[in-house]
Amino acid sequence: MSRRRSRRGLFLLVGAALLLAAAPVGAQPASSATVAVPGPFLAASVGAGDVGDAAPGLTGGTFDLRGHLELGYGDGRFVSGALSLALARAGYANQLPPPESVQPDANLRLHRIGVGALVEGHLPMGRFTPTVGAGAYVDRLSASASGAVLGVRGEYFESTDVAPGFELRAGLDLRVHSAVVVGLRAGWSWTRADLDELTGGARWLSGPGVELRVSFDVSGFRMADPSPP
């Protein structure tokens, strides 16, 4: 399957999921168990996407695994901000010539670790909340290719880079408890990589992604103060 068809299928999946989630919104009143409160939150998300191509060496890729860990603060209604750790792992066709006598693996690996900040805007609609957001990161990218000699495996190529990264995303949240929110995030990410002969200089990698997200409002778990005797 080509990367163009993969991206089209990814966005069809995202669109279908958002439509299904939004279908029962209607005019549902918010109960006391589903009202957001201002305070800190911890969020985790995991999903798949497409890091992007860069000739000559980062081509023929497949969906990558990706995720986020976020620690932030929300006002309980319209705005939230968080420190974010973004993680991704992608595979590409290995086109790097190996040393003599080395049997190369078919794929090379690309890992991304990004540390940065995210800001999201929210539009509360009862239990459902559409969101839009943006983030900026400092990314560490590492690419490696492995092979084997007489059954002994090892890496024969490795390249790393530290560069800026950005993302834009939109989503839909469902508050299932005063302290728990589940939702989807779909968006596009960019990162600038200089990975020696893989990229032939500094190149922008970009592509779409979708993640399932769970957020825990720390303030929602606080126990009520005991009543005076």
Q: Which residues contact 75 (CB under 8 A, 6 or more apart)?
A: 38
Please measure the distance between the N-terminal and C-terminal CA atoms of the chain and give it in whole angstroms.
69
Q: Is residue 50 part of a domain?
A: yes
Q: Is residue 172 part of a domain?
A: no
Quickly state the pLDDT bin for 1 (edges 50, 70, 90).
very low
Q: Residue 167: is its pLDDT beyond 60? A: yes
Q: Residue 136: is its pLDDT beyond 70? A: yes
The pLDDT score that the predictor gives to residue 222 is: 53
Quickly state the pLDDT bin for 225 (edges 50, 70, 90).
very low
Among 33-37, 48-52, 159-163, which stretch is predicted with the lowest mean pLDDT?
33-37
Q: Residue 6: is its pLDDT beyond 90? A: no
Number of structural domains found in the chain: 1
Q: Is residue 111 part of a domain?
A: yes
Question: What's the chain's average pLDDT?
Answer: 83
**Comparing 23 with 43, which gets the higher pLDDT?**
43
Q: Residue 112: is its pLDDT beyond 50? A: yes
Residues 32-43 pLDDT 10s = 445 566 789 999
158/54 Cα distance (integer angstroms) = 17
The pLDDT score that the predictor gives to residue 227 is: 46
Q: Residue 143: is its pLDDT beyond 70? A: yes
Q: Is residue 27 part of a domain?
A: no
The pLDDT score that the predictor gives to residue 62 is: 72
**Comparing 9 with 74, which gets the higher pLDDT?**
74
Instruction: Give me the domain span that covers residue 60.
Output: 3-21+39-165+186-220
Q: Is residue 144 part of a domain?
A: yes
Mean pLDDT across 112-124: 96
| CATH number of the domain where residue 92 is located | 2.40.160
Q: Residue 228: is its pLDDT beyond 80? A: no
Residues 190-223 pLDDT 10s = 999 999 889 988 899 999 999 999 999 887 655 4
The pLDDT score that the predictor gives to residue 68 is: 97
Q: Is residue 79 part of a domain?
A: yes
84/50 Cα distance (integer angstroms) = 20
* Whole-number CA gyration radius for the chain: 21
Buried b (16+ CB within 10 A) or exposed e, 201-226: eebebbbbbbbebebebebbeeeeee
The pLDDT score that the predictor gives to residue 36 is: 60
Burial of 2 (0-12, 13-18, 19+ CB in 10 A): exposed
Quickly state the pLDDT bin for 171 (edges 50, 70, 90).
very high
What are 213's strand-pairing partners? Answer: 45, 183
Residues 81-105 pLDDT 10s = 999 999 999 999 998 999 988 999 9
Q: Is residue 107 part of a domain?
A: yes
Q: Is residue 226 part of a domain?
A: no
